Structure 1
């Protein structure tokens, strides 16, 4: 029985990319249902390329753990699509280009007291040093419907590593029986949801790996058809999902995009922990979506499509390169890396000895100094022309097409949400709308160090200014009025300095002539003369530097 990936991607009604992410345990199949046991779906990533002429293209990424024989995948589609294969690199680059980032800008007002140079001891020089005050940074027409109760195969072809069929039926139970009879292992609980999509006019794409293909050759599936709005079908996902499952939709088009039948919301980022302590952005989105009733999206990014270098150099000149090592070196020079997709092709066209570890084998033969496998290579029937054809189909052409899409569509929107099963009752639709404002994925805050003559830089007051204008005090100032000699004495004794506990440093500062909080008099040493006014100004900052919001 084939383990079947079956869910959200099953009814995408627009151009997009969907990533199906399986849990890590060894027994996980990467799909939603394995041997009648539900496998949780941990995330979805979708890229829609929406043309102004109503054409859509959907790239579906499949991350799978399991045997090649067990792989099977089902996807409801709005019409009979034109099929192709895509590239995982598209997903990687579009995610990196739009991922929310939290950046901290460091600023300083005034001038702090210069740190004295202290006499050398056994551990080196005390005193002047490069002390980091910047703090942490997080930086086709399907024709008539089949007769009632029957299943019709509308399309059957080979696509990349897959054997694909597109099915039509008016009876969900008949469709269920057909899939089960053809080794697609799906739960009977899916029948009512299948019927909903059938009643909505959907068809079903079903994929299996070809017999001579390994799981390393699994790659995104591309579907092209006519559709007016990007649609993200999630009802089927409710059968096997996790609470607050992350869903990211990337929409390429001539205009920016917004949710149509879901609310638009914003997470509360008015908290320095996103910049300073790596607080979870997804958790903040979950809270915002829950507050909006469970069906809402956050706009992570909306703006000009970033430049993405996805395409690789041409490989046609390698057709006559009969030496496997030279062929691999030629791929390396063209920017190919040893990912699982390339490895899957290598295993077919340049198989290693049965007792050799594949990565070690390929790393060896690409280096001219390694002759360990010369005898094995001499016995291989290497066909460089066939390998070039396979590389073009699986890697070169999909990567060129993905880069072309980013150039064809000037605007990109990234919409993000998290959803639990009880909220998956409505398939989200998206609109392209020129009124959608630009949204940056860069969130910048400021760490402000307020220097004055009575503060060394490491003990100056520091506050954190959030994008909203709200302020948080990160460090109360500790003014030090002792002389340079007294500073060196206190530092050598571990009583004052950048790495001394605040309580100890404050006690030492008090002993050197300061009454913290503005009370009492000051016994300022000679070398600190003329700093009295600065002292009281500093104490005013110390006392008044409390958290406030604008």
Structure 2
């Protein structure tokens, strides 16, 4: 393992909660296939789930200023009041409430999407159709989505380490400073923050680097339903994702997703960049082995567990605010000041924040709306939330008038927690034209350096949609053409073959500079192409070996590798083919389209096997 010692301007740390085992669990959702609220990735069969587990962070890269949006999730099986979050940072930042719907939109709009289109060889007495080749992708259909400092960490100067206190939404925030970790540890424990034994050495490292410690916890009376992302903003030209302290509350093979908004594509600075071997992806099952492939690719030679893949790089306009409901101009907090409480839900319905029109169903179009209603219009005993909120006038005598007041407090909370964060999210998408999504899978023993990111204006786009074509042969076998045009023979039409002998998980391992093309540390393209050729020939493909095929060349590729050169893109090994239509292309032979339909009909009864 290559030890990288680099400072990080802020650092993700210790998301804590009471739970299993020794008393600590990582505070994150328990469902691995969550769709994130209002919009999922297509909802079609064989879709790749939008996985929100792990750590999701958004960087906004602007000149001499860092803005970091941190998604915070709490394990529902833990005591939310015992939640604690520690963030080492270079200076006291500005704190704001973040937008969970913005994270939902980022996750869903850029999720890797896999499609396999079907084409058929025309069968009959004459055998071959004489004009059809594999390849071509059509419109999207099914989508898948260091060492210690030498101190014991417990020496105390006896001084109050509190430097600054504030609140942001549901969180109480305190900034702590000292030369030794001891006084900070004592203060946190005395003030009912959870502590993980063994974290002292790493926290001391941050103090030795001149950083302060930000501690967050839920304010009294808040619960898991009040949790929202947090935004930190401070002057700096360095952007990094925190990992060194995360390992004390992490799990094996933890998902890390980094989103970057800027003017061009972003890349890791001190971590490697990996292009995945597309043959390792199970295309016939819509990449159900995706995480396994990424896990092993970033552990490959020269990546050493400290690497990212790029899942999407392109226009930020893919994030559509109205589709994901993170902001609407119809939202207006002033409309709630002075109105009688029995009219609150009616106004929320009018603004599109709720859809409560039925005693058995009340839909909240923002994840914090229900918690705000519970705070200012608590549900009376004996009623369900749906019964109460959909018909407030019927229960006017049971409304807690003291909790509602004149509506000013509700209006203020609505603005600070929902409207202002949503409006800022909209502003970010409008201001920064480019979005990069990077992903890695990492375990605690690998969290030895805080990854830093930068903009490289010379890197190409990476599409999140990847389409392959399966050419079904008359003998029951098939040939899959990947997006980079490499052909893979598939016996009996499936399952996806496991290639004999050594096969690399990473096609390329790169180091990305501030400008120019990436430097190739490892390039397995020629070896992979040779393996494909041997496999295909061993199975009689192509039928006429002397004829040219659409396999990739052995030449080096740029960091996207898209196009006919055959190199991989940053996540899957191929860019999207430009052809469109039904996914089968003709050589121009008259009547070829009609023959294709006839062939498809002849094969309608053929039994196909799938993994």
Compare 343-352 and 173-182 and name the one that shifted more: 173-182
Aligned to 1:356: 383
Shift of 1:37: 2.0
Measured against aligned partners, the alpha-carbon deviations of 1:209-242 in whole angstroms (never above 9, x if no partner) come to 2224333212111111012121112111222221
Partner of 2:167: 158
TM-score by length of 2: 0.62
Q: Conserved in 2, the CA contact under 8 Å of 1:77 and 1:202?
A: yes
CA distance in structure 1 between the partners assigned to 2:13 and 2:179 by the alignment: 29
Equivalent position of 2:479 in the other structure: 463
Provide the C-alpha distance between the structure 2 equivalents of 1:149 and 1:19, rounded to a whole number of angstroms: 25
Which residue of structure 2 aligns with residue 5 of structure 1?
none
Q: Which of 6, 9, 15 is the equivalent residue of 1:13?
A: 9
Larger radius of gyration: 1
Equivalent residue runs for 1:5-404 within 5 Å: 13=9, 31=17, 37-40=23-26, 43-52=54-63, 54-64=64-74, 65=76, 66-108=78-120, 110=122, 138=144, 150-271=159-280, 273-276=282-285, 278-291=287-300, 292-305=303-316, 306-309=318-321, 310-312=326-328, 313-316=330-333, 318-319=335-336, 322-337=339-354, 338=364, 339-365=366-392, 371=394, 373-377=395-399, 382=404, 383-404=406-427
Contact kept in structure 2, 1:49 and 1:251, CA below 8 Å:
yes
Query: Could you give the per-residue CA deviations for residues 469-510 of structure 1, whole angstroms, max 9, x where no partner exists?
Result: 22233657xxxxxxxxxxxxxxxxxxxxxxxxxxxxxxxxxx
Pick closer, same or farther for the CA change 1:277–1:149 going to 2, 3 Å: same
Secondary structure of 2:189 counterpart: helix
Aligned length: 421
Aligned equivalents of 2:97, 2:121: Cα separation in 1: 56
Q: Per-residue deviation at 1:274? A: 3.5
What secondary structure sits across from 2:314 in the alignment? Answer: strand
Larger fraction in helix = 1
In the TM superposition, what is the alpha-carbon distance from 1:327 to its structure 2 partner? 2.2
SS across alignment from 2:175:
strand
Q: Give the drift of 1:87.
A: 1.4
1:272 to partner: Cα distance: 6.2
Q: 2:449 aligned to 426, 443, 456, which one?
A: 426
Give 1:136 shift. 7.6
1:163 CA displacement: 1.9
Contact 2:250 2:444 in 1 (8 A): yes
Q: CA RMSD in A?
A: 3.4
Please state how far the C-alpha of 1:109 moved relative to its aligned partner: 5.7
Distance change >3 Å, CA 362–CA 282, structure 1 → 2: same
Using the size of structure 1 for normalisation, the TM-score is 0.69
* Residue aligning to 1:510: none
Q: Does 1:472 align with 2:482?
A: no
Report the CA distance between 1:280 and its aligned residue: 2.3
Q: Distance in 1 between matches of 2:184 and 2:19?
A: 17
State how far apart, in whole Å, the 1-side matches of 2:437 and 2:277 are: 18
Unpaired runs of at least 5, structure 2 = 1-6, 28-52, 126-139, 146-155, 355-363, 494-594, 604-611
What SS does the aligned partner of 2:116 have? strand
2:368 match: secondary structure:
helix
1:150-183: CA deviation from partner (whole Å, max 9, x where unpaired): 4532211222222211111110222212212222
Check conservation: 1:137, 1:275, Cα contact below 8 A.
no
**Structure-2 separation of matches of 1:137 and 1:35:** 38
Change (3 A) 1:32 1:252: farther
Question: Please, which moves more after superposition, 235-244 or 390-399?
Answer: 235-244
Q: Structure 1 residues 179 and 249, CA, compared in 2 at 3 Å: closer, same or farther?
A: same
- 1:484 equivalent in structure 2: none
Q: Which moved more, 1:67-76 or 1:158-167?
A: 67-76
Q: Classify 1:279/1:321 alpha carbon distance in 2 versus 1 (closer, same or farther; 3 Å).
A: same
The answer as to whether partners of 1:19 and 1:62 remain within 8 angstroms in 2 is no
In structure 2, the partner of 1:413 is: 436
Shifted more, 346-355 versus 305-314: the winner is 305-314
Separation in 1 of the partners of 2:118 and 2:333? Answer: 51
Q: Deviations over 1:422-459 (max 9, x none)?
A: 11111111111112221111111112346xxxx7xxx8
**Cα pair 2:281 2:287 within 8 Å, conserved:** no
The answer (yes or no) to whether the contact 2:248–2:444 under 8 Å persists in 1 is yes
Query: What is the rounded CA distance, in whole Å, between the counterparts of 1:358 and 1:240 in structure 2?
Result: 35
- Return the alpha-carbon distance in structure 2 between the equivalents of residues 212 and 403 of structure 1: 30
